[in-house]
Amino acid sequence: MIKATNIVWHDAAVTATERQEKLGNKPCVLWYTGLSGSGKSTIANAVDRMLHDRGYSTYLLDGDNVRHGLNKDLGFTDVDRIENIRRIAEVSRLFNDAGLIVSTAFISPFTTDRDSARGLVGADFIEIFIDTPLAECEKRDPKGMYKKARAGEIANFTGIDSPYEAPKAPEVHVKTAGKAIEEVANKVVEYLLDNGYIK
């Protein structure tokens, strides 16, 4: 890959602080992580709807949707997964600079990749572990992916033949068993309220 050279950073005329003041919320990245079928996208969408209905400026980056465009050149090898997460972290940082509350719903199975994303985003990176047991995810299997992975039709599938490294100290840890979507979403919104991201 040829890397760009002779480039210079240009400061914007409108600062991030000015955007934040206009929008009325403190920007952050809500980084949802968990196994396929754990409920990441469903919960991220529920939180996004709650925040939007309260008048906040938000945007949701969903794993599958991003792979239809920005990351359609990437597969699921470890190297491609690392690049997938790096690109999402960079895009999230740009949305934050615009003053938005960004939600990302990606498996992001490796601790080092999530730590790298945190390093790129900075202090307003909020890791949300959607903790759903593998057996429950397989039982749900909304896309039929676990069945294909078990049959050997999909390689490098997280939880089957590729590891998932659970977060050790996420800002929000949600065990979904027996909980309604609204209950889980409210826990995320409460964190944002308690920590001054929204009023």
* 162 included as an active-site residue: no
Distance, C-alpha 46 to centroid of its chain: 14
Helix 40-53, helix 181-194: angle, nearest 10 = 60
Query: What's 162's DSSP letter?
Result: B
**φ, ψ at 9 (rounded to 5°):** -70, 135
Give the total residue count for the chain: 199
Q: From residue 38, how far is each of 3, 6, 43, 97, 151 by CA, in Å? A: 37, 44, 9, 29, 20
From the candidates 36, 41, 108, 116, give the one annotated as an active-site residue.
108
- Cα dist from 115 to 66, 75, 121, 167, whole Å: 20, 21, 10, 10
Q: Which residues are catalytic?
A: 108
